[in-house]
Amino acid sequence: MLSLDEILNKTIFTKEDLKNLLASEGDDKKRLFERALQVKLEHLDNYVHLRGLIEYSNICTKSCLYCGVRSKNPNFTRYQLSDEEVIECAKLAHDLGYGSVALQSGERSDKAFTDKITHLVKEIKKIDNGSLGITLSLGEQTEDVYKEWFEAGAHRYLLRIEASNEELYYKIHPHDAKHDFKTRLNCIDTLLKLGYQTGTGVMVGLPFQTYDDLADDLLFFRQKDVAMVGMGPFIPHPDTPLWQYRDQIPSAEERMELTLKMIAILRLMMPEINMVAATANQTVDPMGREKAIAVGANVIMPNLTPNEFRENYLIYPDKACVKDKPDQCQTCLDVRLAAIGHRVLYNEWGDSLAFRKKSGVRS
């Protein structure tokens, strides 16, 4: 078996290397984390980009077995923000200097919904002459819909694969036409083809998930050459079917550590992509987001959803920052990031460098 330094000195990791890195502990793990931070600082400096997160609606037509807002959970109130509320959130993002918003929602593909999103994207674009970048995270849609939203002004799209192993995918989603692995793959390919900065990702520490799966997830991100990746620890939700396996998964601390290793390894594999320090990290560990930034992540998505709706968007329990006000988040973030030698880059879209290079755009 190769030593950690022998692996770290390689330019391309094999699947075996990835599994060894995922299993690293103690001093080896520390050196993996240090190398990942060093590579990030060399390529991207110590900047963190912000996306003001707007959780547009928790109405969802799907039933993912891990997700608290799945259609089969009757235990909370469904909501959809009004157009005015969305625009207010976007203006707030602009006023706070965030540079970008991310519009996220439970999954719907009916025309009333897709038309509404087109309208909202165009309205957000009107704020200060298109100064806000727009990321969408609205699930699986047809190519025509993705195209319509792109033409309306959205330029980034997040669609996590959740698990790149088809077998595992069907252990965490119902096996039916609505939750089809091939459709999900096709959607990611379509987003890439249309020219979106495309983001994907997985949950870490799922029931049935192995190091083999996680290594394959990392290879999947590289093979698809995506511009952005989001990974966070799986958090069992009591109103979902996967809750029954809560005693068969790694501890919260282990899931957090494994997430950090995934982020660090991917930073070595794809030095110029954007990687988010997911809120799920902070839910599992109060310092989770900072830890993710310190091992390679470079994006944070502060929640701008009006507080009265937030507690109904609990995809997992005890979500962090549910009670914070946006301006509190702001001060809190600046201070927290300064403490780990990072700073927020305000008033910029913060596009992925990997994407900018690929599409020939320099800035």
Three-state DSSP at 303 gives strand
User: In a 3-state reduction of DSSP, which class is residue 360?
Assistant: coil
Structure tokens at 158: 């997040």
Nearer to ligand 5AD, 273 or 276 (CB): 276
Return the residue of 55, 107, 140, 162 that touches ligand 5AD, per CB under 6 A.
162
> The tokens 């983001």 sit on which residue?
199
Shortest reach from residue 128's CB to ligand 5AD, in Å: 28
Rank residues 172 and 345 by Cβ distance to ligand FES and give the closer one.
172
Residue 63 interacting entry, from ligand FES, ligand 5AD, none, C-beta within 5 to 8 Å by type: ligand FES
Strand order of the β-sheet with 156-158 is 52-57, 100-105, 133-137, 156-158, 197-204, 228-233, 274-277, 299-300, 47-50, 343-344
Q: Look up tokens 């997040």; give the residue.
A: 158
The C-alpha atoms of residue 32 and residue 258 are separated, in whole angstroms, by 12
Closest distance of CB 167 from ligand 5AD, Å: 18
Question: Which phi and psi angles does 227 have, rounded to 5°?
Answer: -95, -20
Shortest spacing between CB 203 and ligand 5AD, in angstroms: 5
Residue 315 interacts with which of ligand 5AD, ligand FES, none, CB < 5 to 8 Å by class: ligand 5AD
Q: Look-up: residue for tokens 């601390």?
A: 253
CA angle 89, 94, 98 (to 5 degrees): 100
Type of residue at 182: K
Q: Residue 171 is encoded by which pair of tokens?
A: 């252990």
Site for ligand 5AD in 218-257 (CB under 6 A): 232, 234-235, 237
Site string for ligand 5AD, 304-343 (x = CB under 6 A): -----------xx---------------------------
Which CB, 58 or 198, lies closer to ligand FES?
58
Q: What phi and psi values does residue 31 have, to the nearest 5 degrees?
A: -70, -35
Phi then psi dihedrals of residue 103, to 5 deg: -100, 120
Q: How far is the CB of 187 from ligand FES (least distance, A)?
A: 12
For the CB of residue 71, give the shortest distance to ligand FES in the complex, in Å: 7
Nearer to ligand 5AD, 232 or 350 (CB): 232
Rounded to a whole number of angstroms, the minimum distance from the CB of residue 53 to ligand 5AD is 10
Nearer CB in complex with ligand 5AD: 157/234: 234
The contact set with ligand 5AD (CB under 6 A) reads 66-67, 160, 162, 203, 232, 234-235, 237, 280, 315-316
